Structure 1
Amino acid sequence: MDLSAMEQYWIWLSGVEGIGIRRFYRLLSEYGDARAVWDSIGDPGMAFLGARALENLRAARTEERFFRVFSELERLNMRAIPRISEAYPASLHEIFDPPATLYVRGDADLSAERMFAIVGTRRATRDGKRAAREFARTLAGEGVSVVSGLARGVDTAAHEGALEGGAPTIAVLGSGADVIYPPENELLAERILDAGGAVVSEYVPGAEPSKGNFPQRNRIISGLCAGVLLVEGAENSGAMITVNLATEQGRDVFAVPGSIYSPLSAAPNRLIQLGAPPALSGWDILEHYRWASRPAKPAPGAPLPELDEEESTLVTALREQELSFDELCSLGKFPAAKLNSLLTMLVLRGIIVKAPGGLYRAYQ
C-alpha cells in the first residue's frame, strides 16, 4: 500500500475515535491539512471538538499510534483510500459529506463505469429475494458491479445473484470492513472477495456495527452507483433512506412493482406512483443506461421442450412461483421418490433450476 505522507496523516486523523466526518472536515478547514492538525494539537482553537474527542486526538498523537494504523491494515490485508487519493471514487466526491477514508478488502474497482445498487427490506418475501437475485444476476451477466449492504433479505439475495452472474459485487458495511454483520454472512463475504469483489466501509477496522452507522453508510451505496433499485420495503423501510439519498445525489431510482395488498410492496409501489420507472427485469435497467440490449424473444413456433404430463404439471407450478421440495410434495401428485427423479431430470435438461435455499423455479 503506497501512500504519501499527507495521505498517511489524513488516514490517521480520520480514524481518531470521536472525530467524525463533520469535525474532521472542520479541522481541515481550520488548519489546512491533516499534518498541520498533528502539529497543532493543544491549540485552543480545537476546543470545538469537545473534551472527549480532543482527549482522543491528544492520545492518538504518538508515533506508535500513528504507525499502528498502517501495520493493522497490512495485517488485515486491507487498503485505505483517503479522499485526497487518486484512487478515491470520483462519484463520491460529488455527494454530501463524502467519506474521509474508505477501508477496502478485496480488489474490485470502486470507480468502475457500470455500478448499480439493489436495496430493500431485511424481511424480504420469497418473491422479493427471487427478484433481487434475478435482477442482480442479469446485471452482473452484462458486467455491472452490483452494490448492496450485505444485510439480511434483499441485500443478501442481490449479492448472491451477482455472484451467479459472474461480475464483482461490492458490499458496503455499517461496521469495520473486517467485522461482518450479520455474522451469518461471513461465508458470503468470503465468496464476494474470492470472486474479485470488495467489502467496503468508512469505519476503522474493528468498528462494531451500531444503529446509527447503517443510515450513514447508505449514502455510499447510492453514491457509488448510477442508480438504485428498490425491490421491497414497507412505507417506513430503512431502504427508503437509500432511495431518498439517491434522489438528493441525482441518481436514478427504479422500483419493482408488487401487489397492492402486500405491505412490503408499499414503498416501491408508492415510488412508481410518484414517477419512478417500474423495473420488471434487469434488462429494463440495462437498456435504460444502454449497457446492453435485451435478447430477442424466440421466434413464433420455435420448438419448446417436450414435456410429458407429469413434467408439465411440475413446470407449470414452478412458473407461477418458487417452491421447495416439501411444498411440491404437498401438491399430492407424486411420491417423494418419483418427485425427486422428475426434478433431477428437469434440472439436468435445463428446464428448471434449483435456487439458493433449496427452492426450485422454472425458466420462463
Structure 2
Amino acid sequence: MNAREQACWFALVFQSKLPIRVINTILVTWCKQAGRTIEDLFAAEAQEWARVCHLTTEGLQKLEQARETIVAQSFLVEQLQHSGISVISVLDEQYPETLKLALDRNHIPPLLFYAGQLDILKRQTVAIIGSRNANAESLHFTRLVARYLAEKNTNVISGFARGVDRTAYEGATEADGPTTIVLPQGIRKLSRTQLRELQPRIEAGKVLLLSQFHPDAPWLVSRAMERNKVVTGLAQIVIVAESDTKGGTWEGANGALHQKRRVYVRATKDSSIPAGNAALLEKGARPLSWSPSDEDQAFAPLLEKARKVQEQQRSMPPSPRQLSLLAIEYKP
C-alpha cells in the first residue's frame, strides 16, 4: 500500500466517523465488487459514492469531511514509517484469515497496526484471558501454562493489561517463546518504559504488537471490549484463568464461545473455582484441571487441540456474513 493510498485509508477509517459496518460495506461494494482503490474513492464525486456504495446523505457528508483530512493523514503515514510501525488492511493477503472467519462486518477491524513479525500469527495460537485483579493461584496457573505453551513454540496471545494478561506475557517471554500483544488503545500510546522493554523482543521476532485503533487513541472501556474480540478471534483455543460473572473477561469469554472457539477454564481438584469460571462451564466451556505436579499431563492436550482447530480453520469455507469475502486480488 503506497503512502497516498494509506493516507486515504486513514481518512476513511478514522476521520469519516462512519460505523465499522458502513466502512466494511464500502470495502465490499467499492473495492471487491467495483475493483477500485480507496484513493479512487476519494477522487470520485459524491454522486458516484451514492450510486456505488448506496450511502445516505449523512454518510456522503461524512465522507466529504474525511476527504479534507487526507493531507494531514499523510503526515501520520510518515510518522508511523519513521517509528517502524506497519499497517495492513482487511484487503491485504497478510491480514489474518482467522479474524475474517471469526468476526462479521460489524466488528472486523478494517486496519491493523503492528510492530514485529506477522508470521507469529501463523503459529498455533492460544489466548489467555482473565481478571485484572486475579488471585495468586490464578496468576501462578497463568504463568505456568503460558510458559509451557511458549516452550512448545505456540503463540501466546493476550491483552497486556495488569493481572492475568501481563502474567501471560511474562510467562511466554520467560520461555523465550512467541507472544502477541493486542492493545486496547493506539499503538503510539504505550509508555516509553513499555516500549523500551518490548523493543528488543520485537526486533528479535519474539513479540508481535497489534492494535486496531488509531495510533493515538487513548484507552477506553469500549476499546478494551472490542480488543477482546480480536484476542479470541486470532486464537484456536482460549484459556480463562479467572473470571467474574460480569466485566471484561466474562464478556470476552462469552464472545469466544459465540465465535465457536474452544474455551477452557481453570479448574482445580482441591479447591473451589471462581464464580465466573463455574458459570462458563455451564455455558459450554471445558474444564482445565491441573496441579503443579502434573502440568505436562494437563497442558499437553491443548497443543493437539490447537493443531486440529487450526487445520479446521484453514479448510473452513467463507460465510456470506464474513469479510473473508474480501479475500480478492486487490492491488492499490
Query: Secondary structure at the residue paired with 2:286?
Result: coil
1:38 matched residue in structure 2: 42
Separation (CA, whole Å) in 2 of partners of 1:8 and 1:127 = 47
Separation (CA, whole Å) in 1 of partners of 2:211 and 2:190 = 11
Q: Name which of structure 1's ranges 94-103 and 7-16 shifts more when overlaid on structure 2.
A: 7-16
Separation (CA, whole Å) in 1 of partners of 2:270 and 2:247 = 16
Q: Name which of structure 1's ranges 193-202 and 233-242 shifts more when overlaid on structure 2.
A: 193-202
Contact 2:148 2:299 in 1 (8 A): no
Contact 1:150 1:185 in 2 (8 A): no
Query: Secondary structure at the residue paired with 1:203?
Result: coil
Contact 1:134 1:282 in 2 (8 A): no
Separation (CA, whole Å) in 1 of partners of 2:8 and 2:60 = 21
Structure whose alpha-carbon radius of gyration is higher:
1
Aligned residues: 286
Separation (CA, whole Å) in 2 of partners of 1:57 and 1:244 = 35
Displacement after TM superposition at 1:3 (Å) = 4.5
Give per-residue Cα distances to partners, 1:293-318, cap 9 Å, x unaligned: xxxxxxxxxxxxxxxxxxxxxxxxxx
Displacement after TM superposition at 1:235 (Å) = 1.0
Cα distance change of structure 1 residues 23 and 237 upon mapping to structure 2, 3 Å threshold = same
1:65 matched residue in structure 2: 72
1:202-351 superposed matches below 5 A: 202-257=212-267, 265-279=274-288, 280=290, 281=295, 284-290=298-304
2:171 matched residue in structure 1: 161
2:20 matched residue in structure 1: 21
Displacement after TM superposition at 1:258 (Å) = 5.2
Matched-pair identity in %: 24
Cα distance change of structure 1 residues 265 and 5 upon mapping to structure 2, 3 Å threshold = same
TM-score, reference length from structure 1:
0.69
For structure 2, list consecutive stretches of 5 or more residues without a partner in the other structure.
307-332
Query: Secondary structure at the residue paired with 1:19?
Result: coil
TM-score, reference length from structure 2:
0.76
For structure 1, list consecutive stretches of 5 or more residues without a partner in the other structure.
293-364
Contact 1:258 1:269 in 2 (8 A): no
The one-letter code matched in structure 2 to 1:267 is G
Q: Which has the higher helix share?
A: 2
Contact 1:83 1:99 in 2 (8 A): yes
Query: Quick check: 1:109 aligned with 2:119?
Result: yes
Give per-residue Cα distances to partners, 1:8-64, cap 9 Å, x unaligned: 64455223252342231233345445234312364464524386x446413224xx3
Query: Secondary structure at the residue paired with 1:178?
Result: helix
Separation (CA, whole Å) in 2 of partners of 1:213 and 1:176 = 10
Separation (CA, whole Å) in 2 of partners of 1:290 and 1:247 = 19
Cα distance change of structure 1 residues 284 and 258 upon mapping to structure 2, 3 Å threshold = closer
RMSD: 3.0
Separation (CA, whole Å) in 2 of partners of 1:191 and 1:127 = 30
Query: Secondary structure at the residue paired with 2:168?
Result: helix
Query: Secondary structure at the residue paired with 2:91?
Result: coil
